[in-house]
Amino acid sequence: MSEEYEYDDEAEEYYAIRPNKTQIKKDMAALFVLSEELSELSSSQLATLELPEVINKAVVEVSGMPHKSARKRLLKFIAGKLNKIDLEAILEKLARIKNQSAHAVREHHIVERWRDRLISEGNDALADLLDEQPQADRQLLRQLIRNAQKEAEAGKPPKSSRLLYRRLKELFQLDDEQDESEYEDEPSDH
């Protein structure tokens, strides 16, 4: 009776599991979108991704191509090459680049709002700005605001307005750098 229930290792059969075609198509479509995103990056941003040379050359080439069938073929080629490498580090760096871009846009809007407010409200807005940014050069800002207001009234090109924007941008970038350095100096709980 014990012979009936014996397990025979040689009688076991294995079947190949066929890959899911739908999932493969979705993965390739995602890689195609990724290759398009890569083609929109600047050369300095591409360099930070540290892509393999073949992919990097193809991405640089496709970035200058018109949106026609040759571009689509090259994007498919890039997607195929991306499919063969580990993308985790590349996706992480790309996310960081996108986050920096979003931060830059947000910072641009903040600086524009301050510039417009300073030009329209004058000293009241300057007092608010100095409360927020005590390291700001009061005299320089006041001069730039006055000149920008005069240029706007006279209908002249906004030279002082641009200078005020640049000065505010520098001011807010310095503030961000100080915040980051304070954050890095804090001891971690790890």
Cβ–Cβ < 8 Å for 47, 59? no
Which residue's structure tokens are 């505010």? 168
> Taking all residues of the chain, what is their mean pLDDT, rounded to a whole number?
83
Question: Which of 7-21, 66-80, 143-157 is predicted least confidently?
Answer: 7-21
Question: Which of 4-8, 50-54, 57-61, 181-185 is predicted least confidently?
Answer: 181-185
Q: How is domain 100-180 classified at the CATH fold level?
A: Diphtheria Toxin Repressor; domain 2 (1.10.60)
Write out pLDDT tens, residues 108-121: 888 899 999 999 99
With a pLDDT cut of 70, the percent of the chain lying above it is: 83
Note the pLDDT of residue 6. Answer: 58
Write out pLDDT tens, residues 77-104: 999 999 898 888 888 888 888 888 788 8
Where do the H-state alpha helices sit in 40-137?
43-49, 53-63, 69-83, 88-121, 123-132
Write out pLDDT tens, residues 36-45: 999 988 888 8
- Max mean pLDDT range (51-55, 169-173, 175-179): 51-55
Neighbouring residues of 125: CB distance < 8 A, sequence distance ≥ 6: 114, 117, 118
Residue among 71, 80, 65, 69 at smallest CA distance from 32:
80
Portions of the chain given CATH number 1.10.60.30: 100-180
> Exposure pattern of 45-79 as b/e (b: 16+ CB <10 Å)?
bbeebebeeebbebbeebeeeeeeeebeebbebbb
Cβ–Cβ < 8 Å for 152, 158? yes
Structure tokens that stand for 82 in this block: 């991306």
